[in-house]
Structure 1
Amino acid sequence: MSVKVAFIGAGSIGFTRGLLKDLLSVPELQNIEVSFTDINERNLDMVTQLCQRDIDENNLNIKIHSTTVRREALRDAKYIFLVVRIGGLEAFEHDIEIPLKYGVDQCVGDTLSAGGIMYGQRGIAAVMEFCKDIREVAAPDCLLMNYANPMAMITWACNKYGGVRTIGLCHGVQHGHQQIADVLGLEREEVDIICAGINHQTWYVQVKHNGQDLTGELLEAFEKHPEYNQTEKVRIDMLRRFGYYSTESNGHLSEYLPWYRKRPEEIKDWIDLGSWINGETGGYLRICTESRNWFMNDFPNWMKDSALVYELTDRSEEHGSYIVEALETGRVYRGHFNVINNGIISNLPDDAVIEAPGYVDGNGISMPTVGDLPLGCAAVCNVSISVQRLAVEAAIQGNDNLLRQAMMMDPLVGAVCNPKEIWQMVDEMLVAHETWLPQYSEAIAKAKDRLKNEPLIPTKQTDGAARIPVKSVEEMALNRDEINRTAGAADKAKNRQPAS
């Protein structure tokens, strides 16, 4: 089968190399056309070299078309993977450091809270340009598969305003599914789940083994688990109080809610520092910075390491290759996908992007009706959806008033900051992100004037409640295998451990 698959943001080593390996492990897809595009020519060149070496050593007759000219890469593409980080680590640092001055202590900052909202402003501005190119030069039936965060906001904007059929893909459901199997003492294949909600706040509303519903047994099982009772304290507390386990990791989930990170002196009660994803302040920024620095420094050795082997039995858990395989071959694939709701979850808004079970085959992507979420779970999701809706509209319109309202409605920001602090924080973030926010040029000019000429609310320079310093290249070199796995992985928290 000769179809064209394009990657936007292909300089992302983890997602690009791994997803390509997954695709080319499928015999029917070993004749596809592959194109890479990125604005960072150096990153693009390094990832292209690695991926082409993998292809060659697997004896496939594919030559990657790699270009910084996006429209060239997208021309006639039937499937497009979106794996961008708009603004790179420079902008990401602003997402973490500026809110921290106002007491907003984030672990990840890429989905909700102040960092996630601003990440969405940058991302939506860029993906609207991507969508224009896709509409004009890609195949008419093109499918955009979005791996970029904030997942719900970007997928929402692409579908509503971009005019491009878009599905959002995440590995969170698979990870929680494995944890549930672990605490029940079962293999994952023995546990059947229904998981529904919104990305990073999806709930395992049904957990069955041999037809028996075990949902009510999860709390005791998690509380007794020797690792998870230390690393997943927020998730277990939410399970205790809302009755259902949530997909997202401890650090992620803690920053989407108003209860667990609002008092610095209490944050360490809810987190674990064995892995960044368990709640470390700025943990994802640290691990991404270390991975970037390591890859840049160690790239020549990566080219000397063994190539990836394309084996059908060794694909990752990422949905993307399975969706392409199902659409092209007719094989049935069941996964959890992010789509516009349209009644799938009946007590969440129709216009929201929800995450729910779906099926893919030669007829397309089908999403069964889930019905109502449990009332408390729906309430948690609805708060986040309100923030997402405001943030999407703010990004599309370049409306800083809607942006400030999104910040006020955000659970963690609202728990920590008063309105005046939020207004000033947004001014600071707008100015810091000016390069990536063309839609806010007028608002940024006014923000600069206020920051220069008006009295400012005092802020506090702090490292946060649980900051770990960025490792040097020399420190990382002491455990090259570990940092290689992390730097080369799409999921940089797969091998998480409890604190010793």
Structure 2
Amino acid sequence: MKVTLIGAGSREFAGTIIRDLLLSAPIAEKGLDLTLMDIAAAPLAEMEGYARHLTGLLDHAATITTTTDLDEAVTGADFVVTAIEVNRYHYWSQDFTVPRKYGFRQVYGENGGPGGLFHALRQFGPLLEIARAIERLAPDALFLNFSNPEHKVCEAITRLTSVKVVGLCHGYFQGARQISALLETPLAQLDLAAGGINHFAWFQRIRDRKTGEDLYPRLRELEHEANWVSDWHEVGLSRILFRRFGLWPSPSANHIGEYLSWAEDYVPAQLQYFHDPADGSPWQEGATTPEWYYEIRFADTDRPYQPPKHAQKTLEDTLENRPVVSSEELAIPIIEWVACGVERDLPAVNLPNRGAIPGLPDDMVVEVPGRVVDGELVAVPLEEFPEGVLAMVRLQGSIHKLLVQAYAEQSKAKLLQAILLDPVVDSHNRAVAMLDEFLELQKDILPPLH
């Protein structure tokens, strides 16, 4: 069985997937041909060394191949697993900062909001190149994508190619752990089901796995009693959405907030990227990209007048010292079920809806539980969501559809329509000015638009 990792120079992504693959007994029994592909040769060589280290450590019979050639990597693959970005933090700092410059109170700017649209446009080209290589050279392969913005990327691949693609993310598990903590109940004891779109999913079912008891009434009681500022960065926004719309959202405040016009009231300290504008543009030649912080609480404030740790280029721990344990990522469970017939829990996969969530378009990519039927990964149908939840999710589906059309038609007009539909955009004139600045700032990497 040939499994290809594209973006294999990434320590986090590739290291995790390599460990998961080599720890899978069902895959080992099948026989594993692991191909590592990246356009960056030096990091790729490091990951090859790590993969060979693990095969020796685990006494695994897998064959390891590396290449910088996409066609070679994809040819004959049964599964292609991908996570790629181009100069991630440089462009992400622009995605975050530019909309806010024009007065749009965008949170985060990775998967949603105006910034998420430009992130997607940069990702469509290389990911569609991979998809079309699969179309030519491995048409029966399953494409497992971890590249963000997950739902927008999968929309483009499913609408513009014939490739079987599934988007994967661990955001579901963040929400599940929040519910477990509030209920003070072990996660293994909970029967959960959630759906929506990636980084904006809603738990439809919360039950006791043993008794079948509906635990939503208890969750409402405990949430109402809880200290408002406990873990505010993570769940402050989730709690107010739970109170207003009746279901617990996932994964965390900064991600959910990307899809709401009023999220900033509940997502404090939106630093993420900071620069003093009087120092000039941080993206001009020779300038340093602003530092990135997932949340301000993770910033190094103990030594306030020293450079941030990650700016000092401190060495990471060596890959060989990392624990050799499986992650919660769903790529390998999917491979085990599709290729080896081992049933696994697949609580969150991104696939075309096709009726799985009533009230949403069939061709819209949604995040739902999945299962394998006759060797094919399919969505597990859910019940209908409340109209308030459906309305928020449905709007994002329209934005995604317009975005893919803008890319396919090279249409600046369609992109502007998508921007104007976004909930945080409240001015036509400022939206046009923002669009023009993005097209100039990222002209070397964005697709042509006319």
Normalised TM-score (structure 1): 0.78
1:106 Cα offset (Å):
4.2
Counterparts of residues 152-231 of structure 1 (less than 5 Å):
152-209=151-208, 210-225=211-226, 227-228=230-231, 231=234
Q: Which residue number in structure 2 is paired with residue 339 of structure 1?
A: 351
Partner letter of residue 118 of structure 1? F
Distance in 1 between the 2:309 and 2:22 partners? 25
Q: Which residue number in structure 1 is paired with residue 57 of structure 2?
A: 57
Distance in 2 between the 1:271 and 1:437 partners? 30
Distance in 1 between the 2:155 and 2:310 partners? 29
Does structure 1 residue 317 correspond to structure 2 residue 313?
Answer: no
Partner letter of residue 302 of structure 1? T
Percent identity of equivalent pairs: 26
Distance in 2 between the 1:89 and 1:33 partners? 33
Q: Which residue number in structure 1 is paired with residue 337 of structure 2?
A: 326
Q: Which residue number in structure 1 is paired with residue 405 of structure 2?
A: 393
Partner letter of residue 98 of structure 2? I
Conserved 8 A contact 2:107-2:113: no
Does structure 1 residue 259 correspond to structure 2 residue 262?
Answer: yes
Structure 1, residues 209-256: CA drift from partner, whole Å, max 9, x if none? Answer: 121112233233234445345641111111111111111211111221
Distance in 2 between the 1:353 and 1:234 partners? 24
Output the aligned Cα RMSD.
2.5
Structure 1, residues 107-156: CA drift from partner, whole Å, max 9, x if none? Answer: 43221111110011111122221111111122x32000111111111111
Partner letter of residue 219 of structure 2? L
Distance 1:293 1:42, change over 3 A: farther
Counterparts of residues 330-479 of structure 1 (less than 5 Å):
330-335=341-346, 336-360=348-372, 363-412=375-424, 414-415=425-426, 418-440=427-449, 443=450
Normalised TM-score (structure 2): 0.86
Q: Which residue number in structure 1 is paired with residue 292 of structure 2?
A: 286
Write 1 or 2 for the structure with the bigger share of helix.
1
> Number of matched residues?
416
Structure 1, residues 367-420: CA drift from partner, whole Å, max 9, x if none? Answer: 2322311111101101211111111111222111111111111112x14xx111
Distance 1:249 1:75, change over 3 A: same
Distance 1:37 1:128, change over 3 A: same
Conserved 8 A contact 1:330-1:361: no
Q: Which residue number in structure 2 is paired with residue 306 of structure 1?
A: 321
Distance in 2 between the 1:285 and 1:92 partners? 11
Conserved 8 A contact 2:134-2:163: yes
Partner letter of residue 364 of structure 1? E
Conserved 8 A contact 2:339-2:375: no
Distance 1:22 1:62, change over 3 A: same
Distance 1:230 1:219, change over 3 A: farther
Gaps of 5+ in 1: 262-266, 274-278, 444-500
Partner letter of residue 96 of structure 1? F
Paired residue for 1:27, among 25, 33, 41? Answer: 25
Distance in 2 between the 1:118 and 1:181 partners? 35
Counterparts of residues 92-111 of structure 1 (less than 5 Å):
92-111=92-111
Distance in 2 between the 1:333 and 1:91 partners? 37
Distance 1:342 1:285, change over 3 A: farther
Distance in 2 between the 1:358 and 1:291 partners? 40
Conserved 8 A contact 1:333-1:360: no
1:178 Cα offset (Å):
1.6
Distance in 1 between the 2:56 and 2:100 partners? 47
Distance in 1 between the 2:180 and 2:440 partners? 46
Distance in 1 between the 2:197 and 2:421 partners? 17
Counterparts of residues 479-494 of structure 1 (less than 5 Å):
none
Structure 1, residues 83-126: CA drift from partner, whole Å, max 9, x if none? Answer: 01144333222212222311335443221111110011111122
Gaps of 5+ in 2: 275-289, 300-307
Distance in 1 between the 2:273 and 2:217 partners? 34
Partner letter of residue 362 of structure 2? D
Higher relative contact order (CA 8 A, sep 6+): 1
Distance in 2 between the 1:306 and 1:281 partners? 30
Partner letter of residue 23 of structure 1? L
Q: Which residue number in structure 1 is paired with residue 280 of structure 2?
A: none
SS of 2:201's equivalent in the other structure is: strand
Counterparts of residues 66-145 of structure 1 (less than 5 Å):
66-138=66-138, 140-145=139-144
